[in-house]
Structure 1
Amino acid sequence: FQPPLDVTNTVVRLFPHMVAARDHSSRVPMHVAVECEAPLDVFNCLMESDPRCAEARDSDGKTPLMLACKEMGSAMQSGFYDGKGKVRWLADVIKFLAKSSPNSILVEDDGGRTALEHALDSEAPRKTIKTLQRATRQAAREQGELERHEHLRKMKGHCHVRKGEDIRSLLPRESGLVMKSTSISRVVAEGA
């Protein structure tokens, strides 16, 4: 079922909570859009209404991005004329979801597999694999920066009330940070 975009827009506008509604398999409309090969405009409409819908997990722990990656295998095995259009559509959906929902790129399903692993298993085209690898690298980098920022924020709080030895114990050995004094402004990268 592929409703026209104006119908999708109207339904989303009238019932915005339905974008996050779940069915018996815990799927949200974004999952169904993948399964029904909805136009990219429908994905965009759903994302604009509620960006979290791309991170929703079904009863198997799969995000819409994982479903698209997994579906690539059957599309590749379809005949040339049947599969070529679907492979192109899936590649566009995968690129859209990876860009629009970078948090979903690192999520693992109930089997412990990421979207990239599903794409590799389905023998997705090289270009799609490269897109997912870049998105995975970027998401991991951003997640690492957020974790490092949070760790430094906690250290700053400790600097106001604790002694240097306590602060040293907060520095992970692999962080590359060296304590020059008890002031947070003196914690610097190794070799700096």
Structure 2
Amino acid sequence: FQPPLDVTNTVVRLFPHMVAARDHSSRVPMHVAVECEAPLDIFECLMESDPQCVDARNCDGKTPLMLACKEMGSAIKSGFYEGKGKVRWLADVIKLLAKSSPNSILVEDDGGWTALEHALDSEAPRKTIKTLQRATRQAAREQGELERHEHLRKMKGHCHVRKGEDIRSLLPRESGLVMKSTSISRVVAEGA
């Protein structure tokens, strides 16, 4: 069942809470959109109403992105004529979902698989794998930056040198390290 976009827009506008509503399998409408091969504008409508629906997990811990990646294998095996259109549609859905929710690219389902691993297992086209790899690198980089900034924020004020203290005095005497006078040690020693 694929309702027209105007019907979907009306339902979403009248009942916005339904975009996050779950069924007996813990699926939200975004999961169903993948399973029913909904047009891309339906995905965009759902995401406009509730951007978090992209990150929703079903009873197996799978996000809509994971379902699309997993489905790629059966689309490829379904035959040249039927599969080609579905493969192209899935590639577009995967690209849209990966771009819309960088966080969902890194999460694992209940089996410990990421969206990229599902795509690799289903023998997705090279272009789709590359899209997911780029999205994974970017998401990991951003997550690493956030963690680094949080760590630095927590450390703020923990590293300081007392005014007038020479860096050499901070070394244990038994270390045997000989430190020549440097511009930084002079600045610290002078209390500047």
Worse-matched range after superposition: 162-171 or 34-43: 162-171
Decide whether the 8 Å contact of 2:31 with 2:63 is kept in 1: yes
Closer, same or farther in 2 for the Cα pair 1:158/1:35, shift >3 Å? same
Structure 1, residues 90-121: CA drift from partner, whole Å, max 9, x if none? 00000000000110000100000000000000
Deviations 1:52-75 (A, max 9, x none): 000000000000000000000000
Q: CA shift at 1:139, angstroms?
A: 0.2
Distance 1:88 1:177, change over 3 A: farther
Percent identity for Structure 1 against Structure 2: 94
CA distance in 1, matches of 2:119, 2:174: 32
Q: Post-superposition shift, 1:4?
A: 0.2
Say whether the 8 Å CA contact 2:105–2:115 is kept in structure 1.
Answer: yes
Q: Tell me the alpha carbon deviations over residues 18-40 of structure 1, each in whole angstroms, 9 at most, x when there is no partner.
A: 00000000000000000000000
Instruction: Give, in whole Å, the separation in 2 of the partners of 1:173 and 1:56.
Output: 58
Normalised by the length of structure 2, the TM-score is 0.83
Contact 1:5 1:41 in 2 (8 A): yes
Report the CA distance shift for 1:155/1:92 in structure 2 as closer, same or farther (over 3 A): same
The alpha-carbon deviation at position 169 of structure 1 amounts to 19
TM-score (norm 1): 0.83
Q: 1: CA distance between counterparts of 2:102 and 2:170?
A: 29
| CA 1:158–1:178: 2 relative to 1, 3 Å | farther
Q: 2 CA distance for matches of 1:23 and 1:184?
A: 64
Once the two structures are superposed, what CA deviation does each residue of 1:161-192 show, in whole Å capped at 9, x if it has no partner?
99999999999999999999999999999999
Identify unmatched segments of 5+ residues in structure 2: none
Is the Cα contact below 8 Å between 1:55 and 1:103 reproduced in 2? yes
Contact 2:65 2:115 in 1 (8 A): yes
Q: Give 5+ residue unaligned stretches, structure 1.
A: none
How far 1:79 moved relative to its partner?
1.1
The answer to whether the Cα contact below 8 Å between 1:62 and 1:109 also exists between their aligned partners in 2 is yes
How many residues align? The count is 192
* Coordinate RMSD, CA, aligned: 7.1
Q: Which has the larger radius of gyration?
A: 2
Q: 1:176 to 1:21 in 2, by over 3 A?
A: farther
